[in-house]
């Protein structure tokens, strides 16, 4: 019985350690830490259950400390990965903006603006993640995301357009405006720096002026191919970089449907 209890202890402890490490590596840091802490009473409970049901003493220490150590180690690895240096990347950048949120703050029920902002940010994160994108920042009425090359996936620009219309089609994205550009950027943790990011944010602000839900530069539209139909608007100059960008209004219906 003693040898059996030791073998059971080792087997259960290893299973809990593996589960804790696997979940902690894919979870954000704080949930990973919470996972490790939650498994401490779980390990003690398993020890008592083994003693009550089998009459075998299963030492609680490995069951309690093992998963916690695994979760903490995975948490440290995730923090180290997040703190790695900056890197250059070519990406399609999408700026999502919900201007109606600011007007809601000054309305008769400002509390509802907070609920709307939460729903908007949640829907934006879901739309970006569904197309393999990454968040580069979110604040107030805006969310910035970028899409890089992925093997076996559509072009980053096409996936950026798809995420935009996925958000627009949700209940939280009815009043959202999106600006999209592509180019070389510098990614630093959860921050994105570069002319494409700056211009994408400017385009999301200009959507109301041009009565468009999605505005794109010619570079992003050309790289996306014929994913969506577009209407030429004109050119604009960017003072910060001296660049001239051709603007297009992107429509949800595919080009094929438009030709039909």
pLDDT, tens digit (0-9, with 9 covering 90-100), for 14-25? 666 666 666 555
Report the share of the chain in percent with pLDDT over 70. 55
Which tens digits make up the pLDDT trace of 75-128? 566 555 555 557 888 899 999 998 877 665 555 565 666 778 888 888 999 999
For range 127-138, the mean pLDDT = 89
pTM of the entire predicted model: 0.62
Average per-residue pLDDT for the chain? 75
Round to whole Å and give the CA distance between 31 and 37: 10
pLDDT of residue 46: 63
Round to whole Å and give the CA distance between 195 and 197: 5
Compute the Cα dihedral for 179, 146, 186, 216 and give only its sign. negative
Give the position of tokens 């627009």.
168
For range 17-37, the mean pLDDT = 59
Q: Strand 142-147 to strand 177-188: parallel, antiparallel, or no bridges (unpaired)? A: unpaired
Pick from 6-10, 27-31, 158-162, 233-237: least confident? 27-31
Question: Does 63 have pLDDT greater than 60?
Answer: no
pLDDT of residue 151: 84
Say if residues 25 and 74 touch (Cβ distance below 8 Å): yes
Question: Does 159 have pLDDT greater than 80?
Answer: yes
Pick from 5-9, 66-70, 118-122, 168-172: least confident? 66-70
């Amino acid at each position: 019985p003693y040898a059996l209890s030791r073998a059971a202890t080792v087997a259960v402890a290893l299973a809990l350690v593996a589960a804790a490490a696997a979940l902690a590596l894919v979870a954000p840091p704080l949930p990973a830490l919470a996972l490790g802490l939650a498994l401490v009473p779980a390990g003690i409970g398993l020890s008592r259950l083994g003693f009550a049901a089998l009459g075998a003493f299963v030492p609680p220490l490995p069951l309690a400390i093992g998963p916690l150590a695994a979760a903490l180690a995975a948490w440290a690895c995730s923090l180290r990965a997040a703190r790695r240096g900056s890197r250059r990347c070519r990406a399609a950048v999408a700026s999502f903006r919900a201007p109606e949120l600011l007007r809601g703050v000054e309305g008769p029920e400002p509390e509802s603006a907070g609920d709307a902002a939460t729903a908007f940010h949640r829907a934006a994160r879901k739309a970006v993640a569904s197309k393999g994108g990454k968040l580069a920042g979110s604040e107030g009425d805006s969310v910035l995301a970028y899409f890089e090359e992925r093997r076996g996936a559509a072009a980053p620009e096409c996936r950026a357009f798809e995420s935009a219309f996925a958000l627009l089609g949700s209940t939280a994205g009815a009043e959202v405006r999106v600006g999209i550009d592509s180019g070389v950027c510098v990614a630093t943790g959860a921050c994105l720096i570069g002319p494409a990011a700056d211009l994408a944010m400017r385009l999301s602000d200009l959507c109301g002026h041009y009565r468009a839900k999605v505005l794109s530069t010619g570079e992003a539209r050309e790289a996306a191919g014929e994913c969506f139909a577009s209407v030429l608007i004109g050119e604009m100059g960017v003072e910060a970089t001296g660049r001239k960008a051709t603007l297009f209004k992107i429509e949800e219906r595919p080009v094929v449907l438009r030709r039909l």
